[in-house]
Structure 1
């Protein structure tokens, strides 16, 4: 049986094996070495397969790493763009805050001006109310004067008319003595009310109609000539 084994090994071996046989190597040691050689070859083949598998795995890892690096680069670009947007929005926010501060200052200035204007308007309103009250008093006094003048001009003696006209001049001067005088005329509500100039030689009496229509009508229609001759005025003007 040992011879058959050797014969089979002899036919299957290469020229190196034949050299070993020719060198009279013991068969047992040859078989052991042969098996070790085959085992080492199979181990080497396994190692090569493992190395190839590991190389394939490394190649796959490198491919994934490249892909991941591409993704990271893309994300970095996106992050840079987002940071640029954040910077832009931050600048705009700072500008908006400055505009809000400016508007706040303008609003405070306008509020102060409005308060001053309101105070001035209140003061002017009070002054106008006082003037209206004084004008109402003047209207009442004019009504009284109109009634008195009508009584004296209708049916009284001439000497009494002269005295009454003097009384009218004194009363009118007293009424308007505190009103602002401009160009020898007194103004109420931007309208000329009364103008009287008294000198030692001549007397001028002007009635300009503002709320005194009835007085002007009485003087104009009935007693203009007698009024002028009796009082000896230089001129008398009565306007409607």
Structure 2
């Protein structure tokens, strides 16, 4: 069997037939590609199961990538390739789920911003499994939690959430007496100060730079590497 995609507003098909897949299986999970013009590819997740009677097949079709906004604010997302925005910004309201069809999963970079803000957006990788806090340059909502999950059947789910304690990748505690410490992400020029007997939740200024924290105090320096 094969599938192809249609435009809901037009009767003409918008894709070529996908590669073939078999229905003569008891249970199967996989992906097929539907190509359209401009070399764009729509990847569809296919899950095939058999009913308890063994007489019917249940075939579920899902987009290979879905964006889920569980935060309390409207956000906009867009893909970039070599720093160039692809297509248009897509609005996602709170509790909304939309399919997303990337142009280039190899580079896999997505930008996100709040719908009411035109500040510089935050970027992250959408093709690897991870979670992080994004700095959003906004006074009311300074950070946004993003989680990228990847499974065989559901494909890639990108989930945005409001910040909660525990989302930050680092809790930095200064237990020194009468000595402050300075810290910054490696290859980042923004140095911050943490006073004695204080603590701070920290996230990376730039998710694409090394996940290493440089800590200095009283002339001594330490580089700490964090593994995702």
Higher relative contact order (CA 8 A, sep 6+): 2
Higher strand share: 2
TM-score normalised according to structure 1 size: 0.21
Higher helix share: 1
TM-score normalised according to structure 2 size: 0.22
